[in-house]
Protein backbone atom coordinates (compact mmCIF):
# COMPACT_ATOMS: atom_id res chain seq x y z
CA UNK A 1 0.00 0.00 0.00
CA UNK A 2 2.82 2.35 0.92
CA UNK A 3 4.71 1.48 -2.26
CA UNK A 4 1.61 2.10 -4.36
CA UNK A 5 1.17 5.51 -2.73
CA UNK A 6 4.82 6.41 -3.33
CA UNK A 7 4.58 5.36 -6.98
CA UNK A 8 1.44 7.46 -7.41
CA UNK A 9 3.14 10.53 -5.88
CA UNK A 10 6.21 10.03 -8.07
CA UNK A 11 4.02 9.73 -11.18
CA UNK A 12 2.11 12.92 -10.37
CA UNK A 13 5.38 14.77 -9.70
CA UNK A 14 6.82 13.58 -13.01
CA UNK A 15 3.73 14.63 -14.96
CA UNK A 16 3.81 18.07 -13.34
CA UNK A 17 7.50 18.45 -14.20
CA UNK A 18 6.89 17.46 -17.82
CA UNK A 19 3.99 19.88 -18.04
CA UNK A 20 6.04 22.75 -16.64
CA UNK A 21 8.96 21.96 -18.95
CA UNK A 22 6.78 22.90 -21.93
CA UNK A 23 5.68 26.12 -20.29
CA UNK A 24 7.00 29.41 -21.61
CA UNK A 25 9.45 31.09 -19.19
CA UNK A 26 7.24 34.16 -18.71
CA UNK A 27 3.96 32.28 -18.24
CA UNK A 28 4.28 32.48 -14.45
CA UNK A 29 5.08 36.18 -14.66
CA UNK A 30 1.81 37.13 -16.32
CA UNK A 31 -0.35 39.48 -14.29
CA UNK A 32 -4.05 40.25 -14.47
CA UNK A 33 -5.11 43.81 -15.27
CA UNK A 34 -8.59 45.13 -14.50
CA UNK A 35 -9.43 41.87 -12.73
CA UNK A 36 -13.14 41.43 -12.11
CA UNK A 37 -14.19 43.54 -15.10
CA UNK A 38 -15.89 41.46 -17.78
CA UNK A 39 -14.85 43.76 -20.64
CA UNK A 40 -11.51 45.12 -19.41
CA UNK A 41 -9.79 42.19 -17.67
CA UNK A 42 -6.76 40.87 -19.55
CA UNK A 43 -3.49 39.04 -19.02
CA UNK A 44 -0.35 41.12 -19.48
CA UNK A 45 3.30 40.08 -19.65
CA UNK A 46 6.35 41.75 -18.07
CA UNK A 47 7.92 44.75 -19.80
CA UNK A 48 10.79 42.79 -21.34
CA UNK A 49 8.32 40.48 -23.10
CA UNK A 50 6.26 43.42 -24.36
CA UNK A 51 9.41 44.91 -25.86
CA UNK A 52 10.29 41.60 -27.53
CA UNK A 53 6.83 41.29 -29.07
CA UNK A 54 7.06 44.83 -30.43
CA UNK A 55 10.58 44.25 -31.78
CA UNK A 56 9.61 41.04 -33.58
CA UNK A 57 6.42 42.60 -34.97
CA UNK A 58 8.28 45.57 -36.43
CA UNK A 59 11.01 43.27 -37.77
CA UNK A 60 8.35 41.21 -39.58
CA UNK A 61 6.91 44.34 -41.19
CA UNK A 62 10.38 45.45 -42.20
CA UNK A 63 10.97 42.07 -43.83
CA UNK A 64 7.66 42.28 -45.70
CA UNK A 65 8.73 45.60 -47.22
CA UNK A 66 12.34 44.72 -47.96
CA UNK A 67 11.56 41.31 -49.47
CA UNK A 68 8.74 42.44 -51.77
CA UNK A 69 11.06 42.97 -54.74
CA UNK A 70 13.23 39.92 -54.10
CA UNK A 71 12.77 36.62 -55.94
CA UNK A 72 9.54 34.75 -55.23
CA UNK A 73 11.55 31.67 -54.27
CA UNK A 74 13.53 33.57 -51.64
CA UNK A 75 10.35 35.14 -50.24
CA UNK A 76 8.73 31.71 -49.97
CA UNK A 77 11.77 30.33 -48.15
CA UNK A 78 11.98 33.19 -45.65
CA UNK A 79 8.28 33.75 -44.94
CA UNK A 80 7.96 31.16 -42.16
CA UNK A 81 10.71 32.95 -40.21
CA UNK A 82 8.43 35.96 -39.73
CA UNK A 83 4.86 34.81 -40.30
CA UNK A 84 2.70 31.96 -38.99
CA UNK A 85 -0.77 30.44 -39.22
CA UNK A 86 -3.35 32.06 -41.49
CA UNK A 87 -1.12 35.03 -42.27
CA UNK A 88 1.66 32.76 -43.51
CA UNK A 89 -0.75 30.68 -45.61
CA UNK A 90 -2.20 33.77 -47.26
CA UNK A 91 1.26 35.16 -47.99
CA UNK A 92 2.43 31.87 -49.50
CA UNK A 93 -0.74 31.70 -51.60
CA UNK A 94 -0.05 35.16 -53.05
CA UNK A 95 3.56 34.25 -53.80
CA UNK A 96 2.43 31.08 -55.59
CA UNK A 97 0.02 33.12 -57.73
CA UNK A 98 2.70 35.65 -58.63
CA UNK A 99 5.11 32.89 -59.65
CA UNK A 100 2.82 31.63 -62.43
CA UNK A 101 1.76 35.05 -63.75
CA UNK A 102 2.77 35.72 -67.36
CA UNK A 103 1.67 39.36 -67.40
CA UNK A 104 3.24 42.51 -65.92
CA UNK A 105 3.31 42.14 -62.15
CA UNK A 106 2.91 45.00 -59.70
CA UNK A 107 3.58 44.85 -55.97
CA UNK A 108 2.71 47.31 -53.23
CA UNK A 109 5.09 48.21 -50.42
CA UNK A 110 3.46 49.80 -47.39
CA UNK A 111 5.47 52.20 -45.26
CA UNK A 112 4.40 53.98 -42.09
CA UNK A 113 5.48 55.26 -38.70
CA UNK A 114 4.39 52.64 -36.17
CA UNK A 115 3.26 53.23 -32.59
CA UNK A 116 2.76 49.76 -31.14
CA UNK A 117 0.75 48.65 -28.11
CA UNK A 118 0.82 45.02 -26.94
CA UNK A 119 -2.39 43.71 -25.34
CA UNK A 120 -4.49 40.68 -24.40
CA UNK A 121 -2.08 37.81 -23.75
CA UNK A 122 -3.47 34.29 -23.64
CA UNK A 123 -3.33 32.64 -20.20
CA UNK A 124 -0.36 30.51 -21.29
CA UNK A 125 1.52 33.54 -22.62
CA UNK A 126 1.85 32.04 -26.11
CA UNK A 127 -0.21 34.61 -28.00
CA UNK A 128 -1.23 38.25 -27.78
CA UNK A 129 -2.63 41.12 -29.81
CA UNK A 130 -0.92 44.14 -31.33
CA UNK A 131 -2.59 47.52 -31.76
CA UNK A 132 -0.55 49.37 -34.35
CA UNK A 133 -1.25 53.08 -34.74
CA UNK A 134 0.16 53.90 -38.14
CA UNK A 135 0.83 57.47 -39.24
CA UNK A 136 2.30 58.94 -42.44
CA UNK A 137 1.14 55.83 -44.30
CA UNK A 138 2.31 55.47 -47.89
CA UNK A 139 1.70 52.72 -50.43
CA UNK A 140 4.36 52.58 -53.14
CA UNK A 141 3.50 50.50 -56.22
CA UNK A 142 6.41 48.91 -58.10
CA UNK A 143 6.79 47.07 -61.37
CA UNK A 144 8.26 43.84 -60.06
CA UNK A 145 10.11 42.86 -63.24
CA UNK A 146 12.05 46.09 -63.83
CA UNK A 147 12.12 47.16 -60.15
CA UNK A 148 10.78 50.67 -60.85
CA UNK A 149 8.28 52.62 -58.80
CA UNK A 150 5.07 53.45 -60.65
CA UNK A 151 3.30 55.65 -58.10
CA UNK A 152 2.97 56.42 -54.39
CA UNK A 153 -0.35 56.89 -52.59
CA UNK A 154 -0.99 58.75 -49.34
CA UNK A 155 -3.06 56.35 -47.21
CA UNK A 156 -3.62 58.64 -44.22
CA UNK A 157 -3.43 57.48 -40.62
CA UNK A 158 -4.98 54.30 -39.25
CA UNK A 159 -4.94 51.82 -36.37
CA UNK A 160 -4.93 48.09 -37.03
CA UNK A 161 -4.96 44.94 -34.91
CA UNK A 162 -2.85 41.81 -35.43
CA UNK A 163 -2.56 38.57 -33.50
CA UNK A 164 0.93 37.38 -32.61
CA UNK A 165 2.03 33.89 -31.56
CA UNK A 166 5.32 32.71 -30.10
CA UNK A 167 7.34 30.11 -32.00
CA UNK A 168 9.35 28.03 -29.53
CA UNK A 169 11.62 26.61 -32.22
CA UNK A 170 12.61 29.97 -33.70
CA UNK A 171 12.30 31.74 -30.33
CA UNK A 172 10.49 34.58 -32.00
CA UNK A 173 7.07 36.18 -32.03
CA UNK A 174 5.38 35.97 -35.43
CA UNK A 175 2.37 37.61 -37.08
CA UNK A 176 -0.36 34.97 -37.07
CA UNK A 177 -3.37 36.88 -38.38
CA UNK A 178 -4.70 40.28 -39.31
CA UNK A 179 -7.76 41.03 -37.17
CA UNK A 180 -9.22 44.37 -38.22
CA UNK A 181 -8.83 48.09 -38.73
CA UNK A 182 -10.05 50.05 -35.72
CA UNK A 183 -12.69 52.80 -36.11
CA UNK A 184 -11.44 56.34 -36.60
CA UNK A 185 -12.55 57.34 -33.09
CA UNK A 186 -9.93 55.06 -31.56
CA UNK A 187 -7.27 57.78 -31.61
CA UNK A 188 -9.58 60.43 -30.13
CA UNK A 189 -9.34 60.46 -26.34
CA UNK A 190 -12.84 61.95 -25.98
CA UNK A 191 -14.30 59.04 -27.98
CA UNK A 192 -11.98 56.26 -26.84
CA UNK A 193 -14.25 55.28 -23.95
CA UNK A 194 -16.82 54.13 -26.52
CA UNK A 195 -14.39 51.81 -28.27
CA UNK A 196 -13.68 48.49 -26.51
CA UNK A 197 -11.39 45.59 -27.37
CA UNK A 198 -12.97 42.19 -26.79
CA UNK A 199 -11.58 38.75 -27.56
CA UNK A 200 -14.99 37.37 -28.60
CA UNK A 201 -17.75 39.04 -30.57
CA UNK A 202 -21.36 38.88 -29.34
CA UNK A 203 -23.69 36.42 -31.17
CA UNK A 204 -25.30 39.31 -33.02
CA UNK A 205 -23.24 42.24 -34.22
CA UNK A 206 -24.36 45.50 -35.71
CA UNK A 207 -25.12 49.08 -34.87
CA UNK A 208 -27.09 48.13 -31.74
CA UNK A 209 -24.22 46.07 -30.30
Q: How far apart are CA 61 and CA 109, in angstroms?
A: 10
- Secondary structure (3-state) at 2: helix
Q: Is residue 23 part of a domain?
A: no
Q: Is residue 75 part of a domain?
A: yes
Q: How far apart are CA 61 and CA 83, in angstroms?
A: 10
- Long-range CB contacts (within 8 A, 24+) of 51-57: 52/173, 53/118, 53/128, 53/130, 53/164, 53/173, 54/116, 54/118, 54/130, 56/164, 56/172, 56/173, 56/174, 57/116, 57/130, 57/132, 57/162, 57/164, 57/173, 57/175
Q: Is residue 57 part of a domain?
A: no
What is the pLDDT at residue 41? 82
Which domain, by its residues, includes 135? 67-194
Q: Is residue 182 part of a domain?
A: yes
CATH code for the domain of 79: 3.10.450
Q: Is residue 58 part of a domain?
A: no
Q: What pLDDT tens digit does each residue of the chain (209 aa) get?
A: 555 444 444 443 433 443 445 789 999 999 888 776 766 789 999 999 999 999 999 999 999 999 999 999 999 999 999 999 999 999 999 999 888 876 668 899 999 999 999 999 999 999 999 999 999 999 999 998 889 999 999 999 999 999 999 999 999 999 999 999 988 766 666 665 666 666 665 665 554 44
pTM: 0.79
Q: Is residue 33 part of a domain?
A: no
Q: Is residue 59 part of a domain?
A: no
Tens of pLDDT, residue by residue over 100-127, are 876 668 899 999 999 999 999 999 999 9
Q: Is residue 207 part of a domain?
A: no
- Which residue, 61, 193, 30, is CA-closest to 132? 61
What is the number of domains present in the chain? 1
Amino acid sequence: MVWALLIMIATVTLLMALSESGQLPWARRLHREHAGSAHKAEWMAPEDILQQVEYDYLAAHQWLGESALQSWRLQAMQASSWLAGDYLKQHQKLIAQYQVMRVPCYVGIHRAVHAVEVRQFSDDGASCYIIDRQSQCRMATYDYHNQTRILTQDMGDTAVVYRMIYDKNDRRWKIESYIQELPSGWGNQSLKAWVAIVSELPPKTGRDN
